Structure 1
Amino acid sequence: MAVWQYLLIVVPEDSIDDNYQCIFKNNKTKYLPKTDSFWKSFNGDIPSIIAELDQIIPNSKWDDDTFLSWKGNMKDDEDNDATIVLNDDKTSIKEFQFRIDLRKSSNITEVLQAILNLCKKHNFVLIDLKGEIFKPNLEDIFKSIKASNATNFLIDPIQFFEDLSKNNSDETRT
């Protein structure tokens, strides 16, 4: 993940109550928890979701039958990407996430907005790296975007790395 990318995890809205506390709030690791249990009861139109993503971000051609990926043009500051992981028989989603390149405003106004529209259509919600849940509305996630590492890096890269270095040295002392 590039430092200028803002990551959101996509899950079905109706699965949040049953799984959220257990998966995100109790996660004590530095890694994102697996989200496959959020998708257990999802019976939406997976081919439609894939076709819609194909219209938003180019397919990366790196994928296989169960690991699908999309990747924007990195040379044009469009380092947007998305990933959907399917189960072995390709009948259900195990994970779905995307990252938006914050270096260019059109990535937010066009790419992010298009993905949010897809999420609204399929009744998905979004979870950021801190475990906060958002409806797929740009206004709802702006606070998270503004507080993200990606935004902090873009505002002041030197300060971002100084803070990162300070935090790492503080962690090694404890």
Structure 2
Amino acid sequence: MATYQFLTFVLPRKPIETKYGGIPKQLEIKHAEWEKYWGNYDVELNDAPEPEFEDAISTKWWKGIQINIAELRNEIDKIIPRASWNNESWKIENDEVDHDLSIDYNEKENFIEDFRFRTDMRDSKLNFLNSMLELCDRNDWILMDENGNLCNPNIIELAELLKNSKAHLFITNPTEFFDNLK
């Protein structure tokens, strides 16, 4: 992931409200467990095993949510072009911006396993981000950052998460960003 990209997970609102009796401010993400998981991941298998732990990323939030994946893909095609490497990824990459989006869809069980996008923080036009916020709002989806912080799909709430992100720090104060890496 490029340092200037802000990672955002798209989650359906209803299962989170049901599990927690409302939308909490933050969900747990087990970063150390994910590090171990990816450290043991065998690229040759070409099929990622299920994690042996549960957190906000591994939970199957979309299971049981009726979604027309073909229709969703078509809507996303209007926002961002498909990536050349597969049918589940989209990417804008040029001299000005680097946005991407991916949906891991379980064809066998008909549900989204993972839905995420990365916004290039250098993009001052915000067309991609605003289109994604509109898509999420229309479908009653919420957003989660890489630390499990949740927000509604609007620019004001997302800006609060962005202000505390590594991408924002890199764009606004690269020296401090690199000092924090040490």
TM bin (shorter chain) = 0.7 to 0.9
Provide the secondary structure at the position in 1 that maps to 2:129.
helix
Tell me the residue number matched to 1:113.
Answer: 130
* Maintained 8 Å contact 2:29/2:147: no
CA distance in 2, matches of 1:36, 1:26: 10
Which runs of no fewer than 5 residues in structure 2 stay unpaired?
35-54
Tell me the residue number matched to 1:11.
Answer: 11
- State the TM-score, normalizing by the size of structure 1: 0.81
Report which of the two has the higher share of helix. 1
One-letter amino acid of the structure 1 residue matched with residue 78 of structure 2: Q
Tell me the residue number matched to 1:29.
Answer: 32
CA distance in 2, matches of 1:26, 1:7: 14
CA separation of 1:126 and 1:26: change in aligned 2, threshold 3 A? closer
* Maintained 8 Å contact 2:28/2:56: no
Which runs of no fewer than 5 residues in structure 1 stay unpaired?
166-174
Aligned-residue Cα RMSD (Å) equals 2.2
Q: After the TM superposition, which parts of structure 1 deviate over 2 Å for at least 4 consecutive aligned residues?
A: 17-21, 23-36, 88-91
Provide the secondary structure at the position in 1 that maps to 2:60.
helix
> Which of 59, 76, 80 is 1:57 aligned to?
80
One-letter amino acid of the structure 2 residue matched with residue 72 of structure 1: I
Q: Deviations 1:118-163 (Å, cap 9, x if unpaired)?
A: 1111111111112111111111110111111001001121221112
Provide the secondary structure at the position in 1 that maps to 2:78.
helix
* Maintained 8 Å contact 2:29/2:57: no
One-letter amino acid of the structure 1 residue matched with residue 121 of structure 2: L
Provide the secondary structure at the position in 2 that maps to 1:105.
coil
Q: Deviations 1:48-76 (Å, cap 9, x if unpaired)?
A: 21111111111002115xxx000112x32
Tell me the residue number matched to 1:94.
Answer: 113
Tell me the residue number matched to 1:45.
Answer: 68
One-letter amino acid of the structure 2 residue matched with residue 43 of structure 1: Q
- State the TM-score, normalizing by the size of structure 2: 0.78
CA distance in 1, matches of 2:118, 2:31: 23
Instruction: Tell me the CA shift for residue 26 of structure 1.
Output: 6.5
Q: Which has the higher contact order (CA 8 A, sep 6+)?
A: 2
Instruction: Tell me the CA shift for residue 36 of structure 1.
Output: 5.0
Aligned identity (percent) is 31
Aligned pairs, number: 158
